């Protein structure tokens, strides 16, 4: 499984530009924040899209599981994702 | 018992007729669950109509709404559970929801789902099913999903999940009747709603079964909880479930060891944390169920209104101006429309008081009635127009879905000070009046953010402090009045941010609470729901805050009126001394003079500041009384203002430096009694308003002394 992932470019979700689509690889956190992200739909292989960012590039708006959600950049940094073309 | 019935129930009654005797009445409890933005509130309103009761869940500040109605021959109590995304042990709302179901065992839980987003909403429903309670699913917003050309096969979904589903449209009430019928059938046992749990896949199920076996070792524990649920929670390492085992299971050590062993085994197999494995399995199961039941009949090109609006509203550069514009409108509606209404209420009570003064014989009773009680009731009711209008605006913000956007736009700046983007709303409202401001802090879902915001909101320049500051500015800085006034105004904001930062770093330290939140699609609120919301909040204000404000203002009145001036004094000069100087408050003001001197204040200011706790604008009229300005004229506010301004300007005791120290002191020190009563009501304990009294007094004093002493050293004292 890990061999498969190393093939693609895995980055932190916070680094993906507005308008780009991505696929969730994993959440690098624990406790409440991990549970919140999981509950809202950041699960392995889930596709999503970065919609926009606020004035100071923080927070960011993301579409996942048919809903728009907002995350602080510090929270997006906890999610590993691979960019889709 | 005779419960008034809502329109829906009358229709039901007509159809079924009133069969049976009243003695055959049955009592059912139905809980309403659902994600935020599932339309749960409108379904609850449609089911209960006006018959709602607001309270708290035992021991916590989470709001509990319930309503009792008669349906056919049954009495049904509906309980609105907090809207949540999940049922973990991380938030108070989630723990409250699941504990309610586990402990109170309602007959049915109706879970409201947004049909346009079934996957996310079923995620919560399945967690309720796991608690071992009969569930009925309401496929809400059916109209929206059909407009998109998506068909949901509710029969098929029912047979996969073992739960009855009913299609509803909460905003129009369509399908609600049927939903109630189905729920009652389930409650009566005529319709089955399976309590089984979803399938987590082979490996997890194996672990799950093994933990259930361990749990079965205690017979009495088995009776109390759904073992399926406890077993899954133990795999998730849910701290609340672990606590339940520790406290209530006879063989806790064995169970916890088994759970730990299986967790480790699963984590090794999946190379992932157990909580993540279970969450992912849950979503995987739902994904499978949806694949079989949701068909896209014909893909219709629907204009995404939400995205079109967000392109402007959440635009990087337009976002903040749009937000400030919306806040400006709400502020104007609340205060420009509310203040004349408040003044009207105030005039009515002044006249009532004058009328009673005329017809009643002089004495302590008349004084208590006119100055104490009527003044106090008037004080409570003057805030009412502001509260009503504020909630009109807020429920509009909330119901449309804009509130979440407000946080998105403002979060970065507020986060620097440890606050949430939404804290802006209570801050802004508090610049008009802290009483509705503190109520509006409910827009903050997180309790820590809400507490900090409530603690610092009264530092803003409010409508009552403004005339006092304006008077002082006019008296001592006639040339730069506007500039100084706005600087003091900004000082209020600065203090609020600084104190918030200090509290976040000290009292409310600890892990950051996640910001992650949904930006729901924009929806038009229905007039009915907005009015029910306004009605609820206003009656709550009168009932809960009103009584405390009334009691507190009578106490303050007493302290400023008693004891009376000794009557048998023959000393002429004593007759000219205002009665307030003799009162407890007056004595305290005089006693405090040596301390107040450090900030340059004399006893007159001392007494006025004490009186100002009743309401800040009273500072001017109290100074007026102390300067011997005729009391009869006190109804003419402008005149009193003018006279007091002249008196203090010519008083050799004061200087511009003292005026600055005084203005700063007034901005910060003890919030008015109505605000303190509101804080008590909102945070549920006197601890917080008392803390607020303490910290504001201390900070105000330190800064005022600092200004006066340092200013004096710099030679600004003259």
pLDDT at A2 over 50: no
Q: What's residue B637's pLDDT?
A: 67
Is the Cβ of B153 closer than 8 Å to some Cβ of chain A? no
Asked if residues B661 and B709 have their Cβ atoms less than 8 Å apart, the reply is: no
Chain mean pLDDT for chain B: 87
Contacts of A71 in chain B (CB under 8 A): 515-516
Q: What does the alpha-carbon distance between residue B140 and residue B133 come to, in Å, rounded to a whole number?
A: 21
Contacts of B226 (CB under 8 A, 6+ apart): B102, B130, B131, B132, B195
Q: What's residue B716's pLDDT?
A: 77
Q: Give the pLDDT band (50/70/90) at residue B575.
A: low
Is the Cβ of A28 closer than 8 Å to some Cβ of chain B? no
Per the model's pLDDT, the better-predicted residue between B569 and B347 turns out to be B347
The terminus-to-terminus CA distance of chain A in angstroms comes to: 21
Residue B64, class by beta-carbon neighbours within 10 Å (0-12 exposed, 13-18 middle, 19+ buried)? Answer: middle
Contacts of B514 in chain A (CB under 8 A): 32-33, 36-37, 75
Tell me the range of A5-9, A77-81, B9-13, B47-51 where mean pLDDT is highest: A77-81
Closest Cα in chain A, distance from residue B242 (Å): 15
CA angle B464, B467, B472 (to 5 degrees): 130
In this predicted model, what pLDDT tens digit does every residue of B244-278 receive, in sequence order? 999 999 999 999 999 999 999 999 999 999 999 99
Domain end call among B296, B315, B348: B296
Q: What does the alpha-carbon distance between residue B544 and residue B531 come to, in Å, rounded to a whole number?
A: 20
Q: What is the CATH number of the domain that holds A30?
A: 2.30.30.90
Q: What is the pTM of this model?
A: 0.83
- Count residue pairs from A and B with Cβ separation < 8 A: 115
Q: What's residue B23's pLDDT?
A: 55
Residues B155 and B219 in one domain: no
Domain end call among B188, B217, B244: B188
Residues B208 and B178 in one domain: no
Phi, psi of B564, deg, nearest 5: -80, 165
Residues B98 and B237 in one domain: no
**B186: closest CA among B326, B74, B340, B294?**
B74
Per the model's pLDDT, the better-predicted residue between B373 and B235 turns out to be B235
In this predicted model, what pLDDT tens digit does every residue of B432-478 receive, in sequence order? 889 989 988 988 878 888 999 999 999 999 888 988 998 899 899 98
Is the Cβ of A19 closer than 8 Å to some Cβ of chain B? no
Residues B210 and B179 in one domain: no
pLDDT at B369 over 80: yes
Contacts of A58 in chain B (CB under 8 A): 411-412
Residues B122 and B150 in one domain: yes
DSSP state at residue B150: E
Count of the separate structural domains present in chain B: 2
Using only C-alpha atoms, chain B has a radius of gyration, in whole angstroms, of 30
In this predicted model, what pLDDT tens digit does every residue of B383-411 receive, in sequence order? 889 888 988 888 888 889 898 899 899 99
* Cβ distance of B515 and A75 shorter than 8 Å: yes
Q: Give the pLDDT band (50/70/90) at residue B538.
A: confident
Asked if residues B85 and B36 have their Cβ atoms less than 8 Å apart, the reply is: yes
Q: What's the length of chain B? A: 718
* Cβ distance of B408 and A56 shorter than 8 Å: no
Domain end call among B153, B188, B223: B188
Q: What's residue B717's pLDDT?
A: 65
* Cβ distance of A30 and B273 shorter than 8 Å: yes
Contacts of A80 in chain B (CB under 8 A): none
Q: What's residue B690's pLDDT?
A: 97
Closest Cα in chain B, distance from residue A20 (Å): 16
Residues B127 and B269 in one domain: no
Helix spans in B109-218 (H)? 118-130, 142-147, 154-161, 176-188, 202-215
Q: What is the CATH number of the domain that holds B252?
A: 1.10.287.1770
Helix (H, G, I), strand (E, B) or coil at B646: helix
Q: What does the alpha-carbon distance between residue B48 and residue B76 come to, in Å, rounded to a whole number?
A: 10
Lowest mean pLDDT among A2-11, B294-303, B540-549, B637-646: A2-11
In this predicted model, what pLDDT tens digit does every residue of B72-86 receive, in sequence order? 888 999 999 999 999
Count of the separate structural domains present in chain A: 1
Closest Cα in chain B, distance from residue A34 (Å): 8
Q: Give the pLDDT band (50/70/90) at residue B651.
A: confident
In this predicted model, what pLDDT tens digit does every residue of A10-64 receive, in sequence order? 999 999 999 999 999 999 999 889 999 999 999 999 999 999 999 989 999 999 9
Residues B237 and B289 in one domain: yes
Q: What's residue B568's pLDDT?
A: 55
In this predicted model, what pLDDT tens digit does every residue of B667-684 receive, in sequence order? 999 999 999 999 998 898
Interface of B with A in 233-272 (CB under 8 A): 271-272
Residues B263 and B117 in one domain: no
Q: What does the alpha-carbon distance between residue B61 and residue B95 come to, in Å, rounded to a whole number?
A: 13
Cα B340 from chain centroid (whole Å) = 26
In this predicted model, what pLDDT tens digit does every residue of B624-647 receive, in sequence order? 888 877 554 445 667 778 888 888
Average pLDDT over residues B367-394: 85
Contacts of B518 in chain A (CB under 8 A): 40, 67-69
The shortest CB-CB distance from B514 to any of A32, A55, A65 is to A32
- The answer to whether residue B331 sits within a structural domain is no
* Cβ distance of A66 and B90 shorter than 8 Å: no
B74 forms beta bridges with B26, B71
Residue B329, class by beta-carbon neighbours within 10 Å (0-12 exposed, 13-18 middle, 19+ buried)? Answer: exposed
- The answer to whether residue B480 sits within a structural domain is no
* Cβ distance of B116 and A65 shorter than 8 Å: no
Which domain does A45 fall in, by range? 2-84
* Cβ distance of A69 and B316 shorter than 8 Å: no
Is the Cβ of A54 closer than 8 Å to some Cβ of chain B? yes
- The answer to whether residue B629 sits within a structural domain is no
Q: What's residue B630's pLDDT?
A: 56
* Cβ distance of A55 and B316 shorter than 8 Å: yes
Residues B17 and B111 in one domain: yes
pLDDT at B571 over 60: no
| Concatenated DSSP letters of B336-381 | IIHHHHHHHHHHHHHHHHHHHHHHSPSSHHHHIIIIIIIHHHHHHH
Q: What's residue B597's pLDDT?
A: 94
Q: What's residue B219's pLDDT?
A: 87
Q: What's residue B20's pLDDT?
A: 39
Residues B58 and B101 in one domain: yes
* Cβ distance of B86 and A39 shorter than 8 Å: yes
Q: What's residue B11's pLDDT?
A: 46
Is the Cβ of A32 closer than 8 Å to some Cβ of chain B? yes
Interface of B with A in 119-138 (CB under 8 A): 119-120, 123
Q: What is the CATH number of the domain that holds B174?
A: 3.40.50.300
Is the Cβ of B402 closer than 8 Å to some Cβ of chain A? no
In this predicted model, what pLDDT tens digit does every residue of B11-54 receive, in sequence order? 444 444 444 334 568 899 999 999 988 999 999 999 998 778 88
Strands (E), A1-85: 10-12, 21-27, 47-53, 60-64, 67-71, 79-84
Contacts of A54 in chain B (CB under 8 A): 314, 316, 319, 408-409, 411-412
Closest Cα in chain B, distance from residue A42 (Å): 9
Residues B182 and B214 in one domain: no
**B607: closest CA among B599, B598, B620, B293?**
B620
Lowest mean pLDDT among A75-84, B9-18, B204-213: B9-18
Percent share of chain B, pLDDT over 70: 92
The shortest CB-CB distance from B283 to any of A43, A66, A67 is to A43
Q: What's residue B62's pLDDT?
A: 79
Phi, psi of B25, deg, nearest 5: -60, 140
**Which residue does chain A place closest to B512, by CA atoms?**
A33
The shortest CB-CB distance from B409 to any of A39, A54, A75 is to A54
Phi, psi of B65, deg, nearest 5: -105, 135
Q: What's residue B163's pLDDT?
A: 94
Average pLDDT over residues B200-214: 93
The shortest CB-CB distance from A54 to any of B85, B408, B513 is to B408
**B541: closest CA among B344, B686, B677, B397?**
B677
Per the model's pLDDT, the better-predicted residue between B368 and B690 turns out to be B690
In this predicted model, what pLDDT tens digit does every residue of B116-141 receive, in sequence order? 999 999 999 999 999 989 999 999 99
Which domain does B75 fall in, by range? 7-188
- The answer to whether residue B540 sits within a structural domain is no
Residues B124 and B206 in one domain: no
Closest Cα in chain B, distance from residue A40 (Å): 7
Is the Cβ of B522 closer than 8 Å to some Cβ of chain A? no
* Cβ distance of B516 and A70 shorter than 8 Å: yes
Q: What does the alpha-carbon distance between residue B225 and residue B718 come to, in Å, rounded to a whole number?
A: 76
Most B CBs within 10 A among A19, A35, A49, hence the mutation to make, goes to A35
Average pLDDT over residues B513-537: 87
Contacts of A66 in chain B (CB under 8 A): 116-117, 119-120
């Amino acid at each position: 499984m890990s061999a498969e992932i190393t093939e693609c470019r895995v980055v932190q979700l916070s680094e993906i530009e507005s308008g780009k689509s991505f696929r969730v690889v994993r959440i690098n956190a624990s406790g409440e924040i991990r549970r919140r992200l999981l509950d809202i739909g950041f699960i392995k292989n889930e596709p999503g899209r970065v919609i926009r960012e606020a004035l100071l590039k923080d927070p960011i708006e993301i579409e996942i599981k048919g809903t728009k959600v907002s995350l602080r950049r510090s929270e997006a940094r906890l999610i590993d994702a691979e960019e889709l073309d | 018992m005779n419960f008034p019935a809502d329109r829906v129930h009358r229709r039901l009654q007509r159809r079924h007729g009133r069969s049976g005797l009243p003695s055959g009445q049955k009592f059912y409890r139905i809980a309403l669950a659902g994600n935020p933005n599932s339309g749960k509130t409108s379904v609850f309103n449609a089911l209960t109509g006006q018959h709602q009761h607001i309270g708290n869940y035992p021991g916590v500040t989470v709001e509990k709404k319930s309503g009792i109605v008669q349906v056919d021959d049954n009495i049904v109590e509906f309980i609105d559970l907090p809207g949540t995304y999940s049922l973990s042990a991380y938030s108070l709302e989630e723990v409250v929801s699941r504990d309610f179901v586990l402990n109170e065992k309602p007959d049915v839980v109706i879970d409201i789902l947004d049909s346009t987003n079934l996957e996310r909403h079923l995620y919560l429903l399945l967690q309720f099913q796991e608690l071992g309670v009969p569930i009925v699913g309401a496929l809400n917003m059916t109209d929206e999903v059909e407009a998109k050309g998506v068909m949901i096969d509710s029969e098929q979904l029912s047979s996969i999940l073992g739960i009855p589903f009913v299609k509803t449209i909460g905003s129009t009430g369509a399908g609600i009747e049927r939903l109630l019928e189905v729920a009652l059938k389930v409650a009566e046992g005529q319709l089955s709603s399976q309590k089984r749990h979803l399938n987590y896949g082979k490996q997890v199920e194996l672990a799950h079964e093994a933990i259930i076996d361990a749990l079965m070792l205690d017979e009495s524990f088995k009776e109390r909880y759904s073992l399926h649920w406890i077993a899954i929670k133990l795999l998730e390492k849910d701290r609340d479930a672990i606590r339940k085992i520790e406290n209530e299971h006879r063989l806790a050590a064995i169970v916890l060891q088994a759970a730990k062993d299986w967790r480790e085994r699963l984590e090794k197999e999946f190379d992932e944390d157990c909580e993540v494995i279970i969450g992912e399995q849950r979503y995987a199961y739902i994904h499978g169920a949806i694949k079989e039941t949701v068909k896209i009949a014909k893909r219709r090109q629907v204009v995404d209104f939400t995205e079109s609006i967000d392109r402007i509203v959440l635009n990087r550069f337009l976002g903040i101006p749009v937000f400030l514009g919306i806040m400006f409108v709400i502020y104007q509606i609340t205060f420009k429309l509310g203040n004349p209404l408040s003044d009207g209420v105030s005039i009515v009570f002044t006249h009532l008081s004058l009328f009673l003064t005329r017809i009643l014989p002089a004495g302590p009773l008349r004084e208590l009635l006119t100055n104490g009680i009527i003044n106090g009731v008037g004080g409570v009711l003057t805030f009412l127009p502001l509260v009503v209008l504020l909630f009109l605006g807020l429920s509009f913000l909330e119901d449309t879905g804009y509130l979440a956007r407000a946080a998105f736009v403002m979060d970065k700046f507020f986060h620097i000070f440890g606050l949430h983007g939404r804290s802006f709303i209570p801050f802004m409202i508090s610049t008009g009046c802290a009483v509705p401001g503190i109520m509006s802090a409910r827009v903050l879902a997180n309790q820590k953010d809400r507490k900090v915001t409530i603690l610092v909101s009264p530092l803003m320049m409010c409508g009552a402090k403004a005339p006092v500051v304006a008077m002082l500015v006019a008296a001592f800085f006639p040339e730069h009045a506007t500039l100084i006034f706005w600087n003091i105004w900004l000082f209020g904001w600065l203090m609020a941010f600084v104190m918030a930062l200090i509290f976040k770093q000290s009292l409310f330290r600890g892990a950051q609470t996640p910001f992650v939140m949904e930006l729901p699609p924009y929806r038009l609120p229905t007039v009915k729901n907005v009015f029910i919301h306004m009605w609820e909040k206003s009656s709550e204000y009168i009932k809960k805050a009103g009584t405390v404000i009334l009691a507190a203002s009578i106490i303050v009145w007493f302290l400023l009126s008693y004891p009376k001036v000794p009557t048998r004094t023959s000393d002429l000069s004593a007759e000219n001394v205002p009665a307030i100087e003799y009162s407890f408050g007056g004595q305290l003001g005089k006693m405090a003079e040596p301390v107040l001197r450090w900030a340059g204040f004399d006893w007159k200011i001392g007494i006025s500041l004490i009186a100002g706790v009743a309401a800040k604008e009273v500072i001017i009229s109290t100074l007026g009384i102390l300067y011997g300005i005729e009391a009869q004229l006190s109804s003419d506010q402008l005149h009193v203002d003018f006279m007091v301004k002249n008196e203090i300007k010519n008083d050799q005791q004061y200087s511009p430096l003292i005026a600055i120290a005084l203005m700063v002191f007034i901005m910060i020190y003890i919030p008015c009694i109505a605000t303190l009563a509101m804080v008590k009501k909102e945070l549920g304990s006197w601890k917080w308003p008392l803390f607020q009294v303490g910290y504001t007094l201390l900070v105000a004093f330190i800064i005022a002394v600092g200004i006066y002493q340092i200013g004096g050293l710099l030679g600004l004292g003259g």
